Amino acid sequence: MHGSFIWHELMTPDPEGAKAFYCELIGWGTEETQMPGFTYTSFTLPGFSSGVAGMMPLMPDMKEQVVPPNWTGYIAVDDVDAMVTDYEKAGGTICRPAEDIPGIGRFAVVADPQGAVVCIMTPQMPEGGTGEWPQPGSVGTVGWNELMAGDWEKAWDFYSARFGWEKDMAVDMDAMGIYQTFKLGDRGIGGMMTKRPEMPMPYWGFYFIVPAIDAAVAKVEKLGGNVLMGPHQVPGGSWIAACQDPQGAYFNLTSGSR
């Protein structure tokens, strides 16, 4: 499991509004868990016992730090504490020290040397089974994880050394440079490139799989979100669109159908 993206999580100032938006857009259901001081929402797909993504409110300390609404990814690691130490030694930043989530696992929030933030976690498997998840590539799941880096080649060296990722297809984007896809084992899981100058900082973005891109884009706008770019077709034949939810969080959509 080391190096896999195992969870994606939305932090939002309006959980009820975000829940209505994403459940209508993607077809998710919800399960809610009361945590100390807040309610945690798991987004679910029909027929599966385990959630596919999660949501929590932006907490007061996050608002004080001017953390914007955002989606983040969790990467599984064998030992969170060892990885935290390794991140620091390699020039990364520890945004939130390692801590336990009872019954879930141990996690930390970290940034690579160029500033892109992600979570790392050593998950604790539930007692009595491993849960039931949809197959990779299923509608309603995150199908792609994308890094817009300050310098993708330096970022590649950093991430591949820590998570065991291997280079897959490299796409020449002309003036935008190389888009380097990567895999873990035999499964492609993401890509990275050097960000455009107008982007304020490096970041991770995530792509939700929908049945057809045009209908999904129309629904984003109908539900009060914004379509920032696309839809357009990418090498390999998939269609993508960059979007923003009504609360301000950035996300992407992808589909094999127009």
> Which pLDDT value is given to residue 172?
92
Residue-range domains of the chain with CATH: 5-123 (3.10.180.10), 142-255 (3.10.180.10)
Is 73 in a helix, a strand, or coil?
A: strand
Helices (H), 90-212: 152-163
* Amino acid identity at 106: R
Calculate mean pLDDT across residues 237-255: 97
Spatial distance between the Cα atoms of 244 and 69, rounded to a whole number of angstroms: 10
Position 124 confidence tier, pLDDT thresholds 50, 70, 90: confident
Q: Does the pLDDT at position 135 exceed 60?
A: yes
Q: Does the pLDDT at position 37 exceed 70?
A: yes
| Of residues 242, 252, 232, 51, the one with CA closest to residue 144 | 252
pLDDT tens for each residue of 155-179 = 999 999 999 999 999 999 888 899 9
Is 22 in a helix, a strand, or coil?
A: helix
* Amino acid identity at 96: R
> Which pLDDT value is given to residue 127?
52
User: Vertex 198, ends 193 and 199: CA angle to 5°?
Assistant: 55
Calculate mean pLDDT across residues 210-218: 98
Q: Does the pLDDT at position 131 exceed 70?
A: no
- pTM of the predicted structure, to 2 decimals: 0.94
Spatial distance between the Cα atoms of 62 and 84, rounded to a whole number of angstroms: 21
pLDDT tens for each residue of 3-29 = 999 999 999 999 999 999 999 999 999
Spatial distance between the Cα atoms of 185 and 2, rounded to a whole number of angstroms: 11
- Average pLDDT taken over every residue of the chain: 94
How many angstroms separate the Cα of 225 from the Cα of each of 52, 58, 191, 198?
Answer: 21, 19, 25, 22
pLDDT tens for each residue of 62-107 = 777 788 999 999 999 999 999 999 999 999 999 999 999 988 999 9
Q: Where are the beta strands (DSSP E) in the chain?
A: 5-12, 29-35, 38-44, 53-57, 70-76, 93-101, 105-111, 117-123, 142-149, 166-172, 178-184, 187-194, 203-209, 226-233, 239-244, 250-255
pLDDT tens for each residue of 40-65 = 999 999 888 789 999 999 988 877 77
